[in-house]
């Protein structure tokens, strides 16, 4: 049960990556390969559980979420309709606050892991 809940941050970011891919395809009519790459790397991370990659992904995605949270809150006054501004700002704050928490959880998970070296095989245990 604990292992199933351990992949929630990766699944959350994979869902955001898939949403980003689909949104880009319908808005621009082209495939967003960067979003697909991020989603694929997180998918591989679920199976291989590389400690260094997990720390890098968690830090990068958490930092990007902080940036996006600041961007969403700074654009509140630029929107003309107050109701649209409140809804989009509230949605952005909730979404990117959750993403920050998932990034922190991902970093915390991979900081706590124990690395076992066995000749040429690198495994991670929890």
Tens of each residue's pLDDT in the chain, 126 residues: 566 778 999 999 999 999 999 999 999 999 999 999 999 999 999 988 889 999 999 999 999 999 999 999 888 777 777 777 788 889 999 999 999 999 999 999 999 987 665 545 555 555
Tokens 């949605």 belong to residue = 91
Handedness of CA 10, 33, 24, 79 (dihedral sign): positive
- C-alpha closest to that of 43 among 5, 21, 10: 10
């Amino acid at each position: 049960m604990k292992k199933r809940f351990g992949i929630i941050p990766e699944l959350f970011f994979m869902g955001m990556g898939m949403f980003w891919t689909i949104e880009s395809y319908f808005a621009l009519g082209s495939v967003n390969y960067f979003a697909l790459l991020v989603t694929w790397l997180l998918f591989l991370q679920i199976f291989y559980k590389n400690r260094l990659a997990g720390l890098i992904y968690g830090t990068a995605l958490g930092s990007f979420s902080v940036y996006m949270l600041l961007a969403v809150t700074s654009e509140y006054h630029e929107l003309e309709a107050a109701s649209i501004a409140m809804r989009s700002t509230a949605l952005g704050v909730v979404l990117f606050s959750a993403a920050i928490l998932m990034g922190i959880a991902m970093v915390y998970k991979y900081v706590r892991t124990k690395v076992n070296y066995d000749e040429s095989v690198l495994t991670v245990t929890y």
